[in-house]
Chain A
Amino acid sequence: MAEAVLRTEHLSKHFGGLAAVDNVSLEFFTDQIHAVIGPNGAGKTTLTNLLSGELICTSGSIYLDGADIAGLSADRISQRGVGRSYQKTNIFLPFSVFENCRIAAQSRLNSSMRFIRRALAYREVVREAERALEEVGLEDRAQVPAASLSHGEQRQLEIAMTLATRPRILLLDEPLAGMGGEESAHMVELLQKLKPAHAMLLVEHDMDAVFALADRLTVMVDGRVLESGPPEAIRASAAVQEAYLGADEESHQ
């Protein structure tokens, strides 16, 4: 198999005495969706934040194309081709849907220290934004303010903004959170479409979606990797059944 685009080695993050992420070693390949599941507080979002540079790890390494990127700031990691979406929708609410994507695409210019020429005159940026909107199917909503989109559409916009930065790796933190059935199906379809050109980390609670999408599945509990492997193997794992899938069922009773 080809070399991993993104790889962590013994990655740990401590908050005081709490090990939110504890000795996690994972690999992410292009054309592969790597889903990370686990109960609340398992450290999934912290892991995402470490990979995107929003948190700095306590120990361990993160390799992007073989180079250690641990300690780099979020903007630099983004510039190196890592795009992320947020669990809690994180967009520019007062801007139009189009402008949300345009500003995302603009980030790929060498510099935005350009003071005179109109932003809309940069045709390639505009085209890139339009392409991202088409990809997620929001092109008809381009001119409305992002604040007036439905929750599901905002989630789609979140992905479109990430795509407008032309990432090679997508870190998706619960892209299906709070979505209805039809919207979820749409998103699953979108992620499948994006898979061939991207390496993907998918943090998700929707098990139907996870098993439909994941090529590789990692179960995290208390910051540690409990089990990692092909989805079928994980589904059959007794430890996982007990620690997570089983416990989940019990809590629903």
Chain B
Amino acid sequence: MGKLRPGTIILVVCLLALAVLPWFAEKYYVQLFTKMMIMAIFAMSLDLLVGFTGLVSLGHAAFFGVAGYVLAFAAPEYEAANLWVSLPLAMACSGLLALVIGVLVLRTSGIYFIMVTLAFAQMVFFLFHDTEFGGGADGIYVYAKPVAAIAGWEPFTLENHTHFYFVVLALLVLVYTGLRILLDSLFGRVIVGIRVNEHRMRSLGYRTFRYKLACFVLAGVLAGMAGYFAAAQFGFVNPETLGWHQSGSVLMMVILGGMGTLTGAVVGAFSMILLELGLQGLPAIGGMDLSKHWQLLMGGFIVCAVLLLPHGLLGLGRTASRLRRKPAEARDG
């Protein structure tokens, strides 16, 4: 075993705090943290593309939203869907969509990739927005949370907010651990190699398209997992969940937390949602109601974060130590 790094210790402490939270927090906060953990899974799935493979996608919400719709369709009106059927189905649909879109968009790169992912996601958005089968612009309700029954036996019930919380926490840990293992595997080394120097990967004999596609599909499947639980929690899906606002906001979470680290994506998701709440709760000072302009303040904060923290919130330590080291380096040079 290697030495315990400070990062590992912080990680374990945070995990323990999350594990005991439902015993101390009110329902509202338990649900808030559930939402944050769902978004953290979503952000990690995008980070796999943006931070590790170097594919900046502006259409990632399509896979998130579609899974929510699958849940809505899988639940007959006023009846609950079965978790063990509808969750794999939703993730498979997201994966399939990612496969179709991926085959087309991965032929481009750089700015074109950003634009084409955006375009495809908007196509999916308008497919749901302008047709009636998904309730059009109004969306549809998911009246009951999925039931986790296996032949009559229910290990947990998602109607209970604490159970829901622990299911999502377990999935967060599972996805995080799974991706850590993945990134250390042969496949993980290849995708990072593609981000650093795709041209050289090709000349070394790698068919990079395949690996990028596999990564794109995997990211879509995980986004689908997050989208499924988001829809189950809100009890409602509408086209906004797969629109470009959603794609942009999860991309900001990844950038804010620090691209290319899984913990960064989690930190980004948590801090962005907390920040949003904090800013919305600002009091009126003088004649100005600050909370009404929370989006403006949020934008300003993100601009500052990007300018001042090139490695994101998680890179705070790295940025600080580099600043301290600078004079010495200048001397050596």
A: residues with CB less than 8 A from B are 52, 54, 73-76, 78-79, 84, 90-95, 99, 102-104, 106-109, 112-119, 122, 161, 165
Give which listed residue, A90, A91, A117, A161, contacts B186 with CB less than 8 A.
Answer: A117
* Nearest-neighbor residue (CB-CB) of A125 within chain B: B186
Give which listed residue, A75, A106, A165, contacts B207 with CB less than 8 A.
Answer: A75
Q: Could you list 10 further interchain pairs (A-B, Cβ under 8 angstroms) beyond the known A106-B190, A165-B204?
A: A54-B203, A75-B203, A75-B205, A75-B208, A78-B204, A78-B205, A95-B196, A102-B189, A103-B189, A113-B186
Known pairs A52-B203, A108-B205; A94 contacts B196 (CB<8 A): yes
Known pairs A94-B196, A95-B196; A114 contacts B185 (CB<8 A): yes
* Nearest-neighbor residue (CB-CB) of B218 within chain A: A115
Instruction: Report B69 CB to chain A, min CB distance, Å.
Output: 28
- Chain B neighbourhood of A102, CB < 8 A: 189
Give which listed residue, A93, A94, A107, A112, contacts B187 with CB less than 8 A.
Answer: A112
Asked if B206 is an interface residue, CB under 8 A from chain A, the answer is: yes
Contact, CB under 8 Å: A109 / B205: no
- Chain A neighbourhood of B318, CB < 8 A: none
B: residues with CB less than 8 A from A are 181-182, 184-190, 193, 196-197, 199-208, 210-211, 214
- Chain B neighbourhood of A116, CB < 8 A: 181-182, 185
Give which listed residue, A76, A103, A118, A119, contacts B204 with CB less than 8 A.
Answer: A103
- Chain B neighbourhood of A74, CB < 8 A: 202-203
- Chain B neighbourhood of A90, CB < 8 A: 197, 199-200, 203
Q: List 25 A-B contacts (CB under 8 A).
A: A54-B203, A75-B205, A75-B208, A79-B205, A84-B203, A91-B197, A91-B200, A92-B196, A92-B200, A95-B196, A103-B189, A103-B201, A107-B206, A112-B187, A112-B189, A113-B186, A115-B186, A115-B187, A116-B185, A118-B184, A118-B185, A119-B186, A119-B189, A161-B204, A165-B204
- Chain A neighbourhood of B182, CB < 8 A: 115-116
Contact, CB under 8 Å: A107 / B204: yes
Question: How far apart sit A91 and B185, CA to CA, in the bound complex (Å)?
Answer: 21
**Minimum-distance CB pairs A-B, first 6:** A78-B205, A107-B205, A114-B186, A112-B186, A107-B204, A79-B205
- Chain A neighbourhood of B210, CB < 8 A: 113
Q: What does DSSP make chain B's interface, helix, strand, loop or mixed?
A: helix
Question: How far apart sit A92 and B199, CA to CA, in the bound complex (Å)?
Answer: 11
Contact, CB under 8 Å: A122 / B204: no
Contact, CB under 8 Å: A114 / B196: no
* Nearest-neighbor residue (CB-CB) of B210 within chain A: A113
* Nearest-neighbor residue (CB-CB) of A95 within chain B: B196
- Chain A neighbourhood of B181, CB < 8 A: 115-116
- Chain B neighbourhood of A99, CB < 8 A: 189
- Chain B neighbourhood of A103, CB < 8 A: 189-190, 193, 201, 204
Question: How far apart sit A106 and B192, CA to CA, in the bound complex (Å)?
Answer: 14
Give which listed residue, A73, A92, A113, contacts B197 with CB less than 8 A.
Answer: A92
Instruction: Report A158 CB to chain B, min CB distance, Å.
Output: 10
- Chain B neighbourhood of A52, CB < 8 A: 203
